[in-house]
Structure formats: structure tokens, C-alpha cells
Structure 1
């Protein structure tokens, strides 16, 4: 769907709320909701990748589970770290949820962003809160372009990824929300 700004995909109210709450919960870190929205757009089209739908509570249905990280050309090798508990794969890890966390990273940074008492990687409120915490952990004030670039690179070690996220961020900034 398009807004009135050419090329800017509108967010659902749920996605906007999840990103806004996650950014607001980080205090002095300086992360903006539009950075989280940029990541969410690249990772899963805000929880809608592959026919998934974002429910009113922020949960994706069906769940978004990435490809096996099995070392084939262009793919990292990450052997299983969760016994398949999060990703259903007992051999290799797979990125999970709308913000595409690896199970071991989710275990370290997973958060309850919606206040329901559980940290669910398949819930955008929780996943956005975890992403904000991950990005803010050691990169300084993310209002600084260099710090922000380093933080996004820590999320995905690809400058093309950083450029895509920042491009979507600029688009969302233009919405003026």
C-alpha cells in the first residue's frame, strides 16, 4: 500500500505502535521509531513476509521463519543453538519472527514489549523492543550517524543492508509522524 509520498509503504497501526513503543522505551539511546521501522521493512515487511499477517496483538500468523543457516553459498553456517525450540530446526539455526532474530540472539536480548509477561520473537511488540535493546547496547547515542551505522551493521553485517534500512528510515521520517 502507498501513502501520499511516492514509494513509501504505509505501516499498519499495530506496526507503528510497536516501533514507537520500542523506541520510546530506550530513553537516552536516541533510537528513532523510523530506524526500527526500516529494519522491520527490510526483514519482514512489518510482519507480512511470505503471506504472514500481523494480528492486532502484534503476533505474526503464520510465523515467519527464515532459511536454514547451513553454509550454502552466500549463507552463514550457524549450527543449532536452541534444539529447534524457536525455529523448529534441530540441525541449523534460522532467523525467526518479524525482526528476524537468530535463536541465540533472541535468548540474550528477547524482551516483553507488549506487557503480556512473555518475550515472544513472533510478536512485533516484543521483537521491536528486543531490536531496540540490541541496537542501543553499546553503540552510543544513535542520533549520531556513525554510531547508528555501526549499530545497524551489528544487526546485519552488510553495508547494503544498512543502506536499505536507512533508505526506508528516510521514507518514514518524511511521513512526519
Structure 2
């Protein structure tokens, strides 16, 4: 028909061109959004890793000293300390179940299950004077240690608590490489083991100098 232009097979309809242009515009706008999103996620992951791998400097000497005495790797002790009380920052340091101090010892585990008041979950009814007495702890077979030599094995003292945890973990296999077994014996929870082992691997990988900055 005269006056009407016939469209060739290779010519794209105007509506299709508009759709294609909209797609191109969308892709062009989307690229910077994806780049920024990737950067933010990556940045957050780096911040989280840096935060998770941070260990307060004042505790490193204690971990390393306890490692020499008991053979339990410093990063295992650091991981326990991080999970239990976030390096002694949680207040109060007494759990609803009765676990006490920076490393969250049940009184009967600290003083010894042979104590007459010990049964059940291990809260016991141990007099405060007996709870920190090295002679009483030795008598009842507890894990409490007087690490600073002040005559008391105090579950609320950082050094005493960390050395006591090293003592416990060593006697449950950690000094012989059975770290997961020892960690499980500490809390009898698979979730707890997973959380502690996450930090064990992280601290071991980063190294003492890196995480101590």
C-alpha cells in the first residue's frame, strides 16, 4: 500500500527499543550499587574479624605462662575466656546456674566434688572461706589453683581462674592434643564446643603477635 512504510525483518519495534534502553539504564545504575554493597559487606567482615580476633594485652602473659605450666595451648585458654565472659567484661560474673568467675567454674568443680555439700549440677553449699583455700581444694580433689601465690585460689581472680581452667583442660586431654574432647568436658554442649573451637582456630591462625595489638 502506498504511503505506508513496511518494516524489514531486521528493524526493531520502538517499544522493544525502549525496553532494551530501560534494561541498559537499569544495569548501569545497578553496577555501582553492587560495587558499594560488596565493599560494605567486605568492610563489615573485616571489622568483625578484627573485633573477634582481639585479645586484651594484659591476658596474653597469663595464657602463655599457664601454657608452660600445663601444656594447654594459649589460644585454647583465650577462646574459653572469650566465650565464657568476654575477657572478664560480663557483670556479674555469676551465671544463673551458679558458675563463678572469669572462666565460669561451678563451685564443686573448683573445690572438688568430694566436698560433702556437692551434688546435682555442682553449685554446692561451700563456705566462702573453704572455696578459696588451697588445702581444702587439695583435700576434695578440685581444680582450683592459687596462681599468684597469695594463699588463695580465687575463682574470681583472673590469673587463678585461667590457671584453674588450664589445670582442668589439661587433665581432660587438651595438653595431649584432644582439644575438642577437653572443651566438651568443660560444658557438655555441642554448641559450646563449636563456639569455643571457632575462636581456637581464629586465634591459632592469627597468632599471638597479631591478636595482641
Matched, 1:106 2:110: yes
Taking the aligned partners of 1:3 and 1:21, their CA distance within structure 2 comes to: 30
Matched, 1:25 2:25: no
- Per the TM alignment, residue 7 of structure 1 is displaced from its structure 2 partner at its CA by 4.3
Residue 66 of structure 1 corresponds to 95
**How many aligned positions are there?**
133
Q: 1:99 to 1:140 in 2, by over 3 A?
A: closer
- Per the TM alignment, residue 139 of structure 1 is displaced from its structure 2 partner at its CA by 2.2
Residue 35 of structure 1 corresponds to 76
Taking the aligned partners of 2:194 and 2:151, their CA distance within structure 1 comes to: 35
Taking the aligned partners of 2:206 and 2:51, their CA distance within structure 1 comes to: 12
Residue 125 of structure 1 corresponds to 159
Residue 79 of structure 1 corresponds to none
Matched, 1:96 2:140: no
TM-score (norm: length of structure 2):
0.57
Gaps of 5+ in 2: 1-45, 112-141, 209-213
Q: 1:35 to 1:140 in 2, by over 3 A?
A: closer
Deviations 1:137-176 (A, max 9, x none): 1427432xxx211111110101111111111112212332
Deviations 1:23-58 (A, max 9, x none): 2211xxx420100111111100010013xxxxxxxx
Higher relative contact order (CA 8 A, sep 6+): 1
Q: 1:175 to 1:45 in 2, by over 3 A?
A: same
Q: Any conservation in 2 of the 1:3–1:9 contact (CA below 8 Å)?
A: no
Residue 48 of structure 1 corresponds to 89
Q: Secondary structure in 2 aligned to 1:49?
A: coil
Q: 1:111 to 1:141 in 2, by over 3 A?
A: closer
Question: CA RMSD for the aligned pairs?
Answer: 2.2
Q: 1:165 to 1:140 in 2, by over 3 A?
A: closer
Deviations 1:11-33 (A, max 9, x none): 2222222222212211xxx4201
Matched, 1:135 2:164: no
Q: Any conservation in 2 of the 1:8–1:172 contact (CA below 8 Å)?
A: no
- Higher share in helix: 2
Q: Any conservation in 2 of the 1:110–1:127 contact (CA below 8 Å)?
A: yes
Q: 1:141 to 1:123 in 2, by over 3 A?
A: closer
